[in-house]
Structure 1
Amino acid sequence: MKELKIETTLQVYEDLDEVPNEVQQLMNEAINARNNAYSPYSKFNVGAAILLDNGETVSGSNQENASYPSGLCAERTAIYYAGAKYPKAKMLKMALTASSQNQVTSKPIPPCGACRQAIAEYEVKQNLPIEIYFMGAEGKVVKSNSLANLLPLIFESSVL
């Protein structure tokens, strides 16, 4: 037997004021999207914004449904919209923010597993990492230089 050790490095900013201006603007778009979330069941609002290499920005928010599996996370709403509207554009940066209607979310909240897999698909497709910035409603902002830092052993099409 051989042991495999996986390490990752993330950057942590104390608050939104510390990140580069371009990322602050992107996160503000994610915050605006978060405010449009439809989350009557979980009371958990999430917003995502993606900067594309053509200069466009797309955003999305979580959209819930009484039939729970029919809802969609903010990250996948934004990434699928970007893929549908701008199929040739590359995704450069993604900003995510989440808040609870029941409590203050000051801890950075990363994408869920399903969203990590969806983001991985686009990183592989475009052969370019996507910078991911995530935060709660306030507080620290975490930066990952690639989805590979959050999901190091991805499932991708080369194994099919």
Structure 2
Amino acid sequence: MKEITTSSKITVFENIQELPLVEQNLMLKAIEVRKNAYAPYSKFNVGAAILLDNGKIVVGSNQENAAYPSGLCAERVAIFQAGSIYPEARILKITISGTSERNQTTTPVPPCGACRQSIAEYEIRQESPIEIYYTGETGEIHHSASLKNLLPFMFEKKLL
């Protein structure tokens, strides 16, 4: 038997003002678009904004459905839209902001497992890391330089 040890490096910013200007503006877009979330069941609104290497910004918000598995998270709405509209562009950064209508969200909200896998597909395909910034309604912002920090054992096409 042997053990495999992994580690992740996450940078913590105390608030949005600590972010570099490009990332501040991208996070503000994620915060703004979360107002478009359709979340009547979870009451949890999430917004995502993606910066592409062509300078374009693509946004998405979570869209729920009474048949729960039929909805989509904000990250996947944004990433699939970016892939559809700008198929040749590389994704540089994703910002994510989540808030609850039930209580104040002060803990950073990372992408769920399904979203991590979707982001992984694009990171692997473009052969370059995707930076991820995520936050709650208020408080700290976490930054990962690559999806690999959040999903060290990615499932990918070479495994098929």
TM bucket, shorter chain: over 0.9
1:107 counterpart SS class: coil
Aligned to 1:43: 43
Deviation at 1:49, TM superposition (A): 0.2
Aligned to 1:97: 97
Aligned to 2:85: 85
Structure 1 spans left out of the alignment, 5+ residues: none
Confirm or deny that 1:127 pairs with 2:152. Answer: no
For 2:51 and 2:152, locate their aligned partners in 1 and report how far apart those are by CA, in whole Å.
23
For 1:126 and 1:110, locate their aligned partners in 2 and report how far apart those are by CA, in whole Å.
22
Amino acid at match of 2:16: L
For 1:53 and 1:103, locate their aligned partners in 2 and report how far apart those are by CA, in whole Å.
36
Aligned to 1:112: 112
For 1:58 and 1:7, locate their aligned partners in 2 and report how far apart those are by CA, in whole Å.
30
**Deviation string, structure 1 residues 1-36 (Cα, Å, up to 9, x no partner):** 111111111100000100100000000110111011
Deviation at 1:159, TM superposition (A): 1.1
Amino acid at match of 1:32: E
Q: What TM-score, normalized by structure 1, do the two folds share?
A: 0.99
Aligned length: 160
Seq. identity, %: 57
For 2:9 and 2:77, locate their aligned partners in 1 and report how far apart those are by CA, in whole Å.
27
Confirm or deny that 1:6 pairs with 2:6. Answer: yes
Q: Which runs of 4+ in 1 moved over 4 A?
A: none
Q: What TM-score, normalized by structure 2, do the two folds share?
A: 0.99
C-alpha RMSD over aligned residues: 0.4
Aligned to 2:152: 152
